[in-house]
Structure formats: C-alpha cells, structure tokens
Amino acid sequence: MRKNQAIRSGEAVVGFVPTMGYLHQGHASLMQAARQQSDIVVLSIFVNPIQFGPNEDFDSYPRDEERDVETARTEGVDIVFIPSVQEMYPQPTQTTIAVSGITERLCGASRPGHFNGVTTVVSKLFNIVQPQKAFFGMKDAQQVAVIQQMVHDLNMPIDIVPCPIVREEDGLALSSRNVYLSTELREEALVLSQALRAAQEAVDSGTAVTADDIRRLLREHIGTAAHAVIDYAEIQAFPSLEPLAGDEPLQAYEDLLIALAVKFGKTRLIDNIRIQKMEVPSLV
C-alpha cells in the first residue's frame, strides 16, 4: 500500500482538483489525472460568488451536490471539500490577489474583476488543502495562464498541471453551462469547435497565414450560426496572451492559443485550441 505508507511517513503527495461542481467528464479527466499522479486526491466544489459579476449567473449556476459526490466516489477521490459561502467568506474579504497583464484581455476584458475572484479563491483553497499538485482544465486556458503566473510570482510550492479539453463526440467542449442550451442552440454551438478546427488547419497548412486571416476565418465560421454573438475570437501567444499584430505571420510563434467566447442566447460559451510548434527532426 504505497498510499498508506506515504501517508504514515508524511510524504503523501496531495493532488487537488478545484471545481464549481456540476461535474462532467471534463472534471472526471482531472480527477483521473490527479488519481494517477498523487497519493491523496482532494476535490473541492465551491461556486465562488466573488468571481461572478453583478449581472452574471451566480444564482442560477447549476448545482447537484449528491450526483457530484457520487462522481467523486466513482473516480476514486479521497476527500470532497464542499464549503459554504459563509465558511469561505465569514466576512467580506478585504484581501485580493490580482494578476496584471494577462488578466486584462479575453475573458478579463469582458468580465472585470473575474480573475481577481479566481486567484483569490484559488489561493484560499490552496492554503486550506495544501496540495503539492493542482489540476486545471485547459478549457479555461486563460485561467490556467493566470494561475501559473500567480504561483510563479508568489513562489507557491505547487505544481500546476493543465489537462486537455474534453469534448462531446460532435466536438462541443464539455461545460457545466451547456445545460442552459436549447436543442437548437446546442446545435448552433458546434460552430465553435468547427471554427477552431478550421483555424488550426489554416495555421498547419504552412501557407503565409497572418493573425488577421485567422480572426477573419473564425468570424466567418461563427457568423453562420443564427444566434451567435461574438464576445471575442482571438489568436495570441501562450501563455503570455500577448495580442498578435494583424499582419503578423504566425510562423514566428512556438506556442499559440486561438480562443473564443460567444453568446448563444443568454449562454456564454468559451472554447480554445492551443497550437504548439513541433520539433521537426532535422534531415541534415
């Protein structure tokens, strides 16, 4: 029993999966990664009020604690932590952690204060759980970049493990917010993954494609959906999220993120794809 030995010797690796609950296969993949890479797996479920704006969906955010606990059990989670808002914020927090730069673009621009709420609560959860590793889904790629920056800047002794996006068979990225979608909007939302795939093909084609070419291509694809309202459709360097100039050829970049935020009715969905340059073995 490696696990029990590790616990007895005080050397157990704690792997942490912070979530807002309403767990789906994307969360399950995080728990599986944590299970493989840690001795003790801790899952937290907390819909964090301070990362929602005043007109956002904090109250209506879907919750199903009983089913979530069952999912955690199935995935071999050791500890599920479900604090109340009162426990996490007995008084309104006077302390805020803010990351500048990378939080000002994409979701940070559309959702002011959102990332301060995320970094503050994640830091609280890190201090409570004290994990060696924490697992985050790349669907929230900007969140991953922001948390990695915080961990680096503040010397937090935690290894951030980003895990790939999990998709439905038809390509829709899994999200707790997908339950908001009507059948019709659910169908329309497929333009997101389709636009990203088309963009990836364009980048991979080897032709002299520019950042603006990609932006145009994304908007054209998404525009085919009747109810889609684009919040952003962007391409940038990862993880700095530095915006690329419009006429910039993409060949110069080692690591790119193409990211979308689009509203379908009242439901705002995000999706992204990361394109990393492969090391091609030289023939010389």
Residues engaged in binding a second copy (CB under 8 A): 9-10, 93-102, 119-120, 123-124, 127-128, 130, 149-150, 153-157
Complex with a second copy: residue 87 or 220, whichever CB lies closer: 87
Compute the least distance from the CB of residue 264 to a second copy, in Å: 33
Question: Using an 8 Å Cβ cutoff, are 14 and 39 in contact?
Answer: yes
Compute the least distance from the CB of residue 78 to a second copy, in Å: 19
Compute the least distance from the CB of residue 41 to a second copy, in Å: 20
Compute the least distance from the CB of residue 6 to a second copy, in Å: 12
Complex with a second copy: residue 39 or 75, whichever CB lies closer: 39
Compute the least distance from the CB of residue 107 to a second copy, in Å: 17
Complex with a second copy: residue 29 or 116, whichever CB lies closer: 116
In Å, how far are 18, 159, 251 from 152, measured between CA atoms? 19, 10, 28
Calculate the CA 139 to chain-centre distance: 4
Complex with a second copy: residue 86 or 155, whichever CB lies closer: 155
- CA torsion sign for 51, 56, 59, 64 is negative
**184-189 long-range contacts, Cβ below 8 Å, gap at least 24?**
184/227, 185/227, 185/264, 185/265, 185/267, 188/225, 188/226, 188/227, 188/228, 188/264, 189/225, 189/262, 189/264, 189/269
Which tokens in the block code for residue 98? Answer: 């803010």
Q: How far apart are CA 46 and CA 88, in angstroms?
A: 9
Complex with a second copy: residue 99 or 106, whichever CB lies closer: 99
Q: Who contacts 46 (Cβ-Cβ below 8 Å, separation ≥6)?
A: 18, 19, 20, 21, 81, 82, 83, 88, 121, 125
Q: How far apart are CA 114 and CA 93, in angstroms?
A: 15
Instruction: Tell me whether residue 221 is one of the annotated catalytic residues.
Output: no
Catalytic residue among 27, 114, 221, 227: 27
Q: Which residues are catalytic, by number?
A: 27
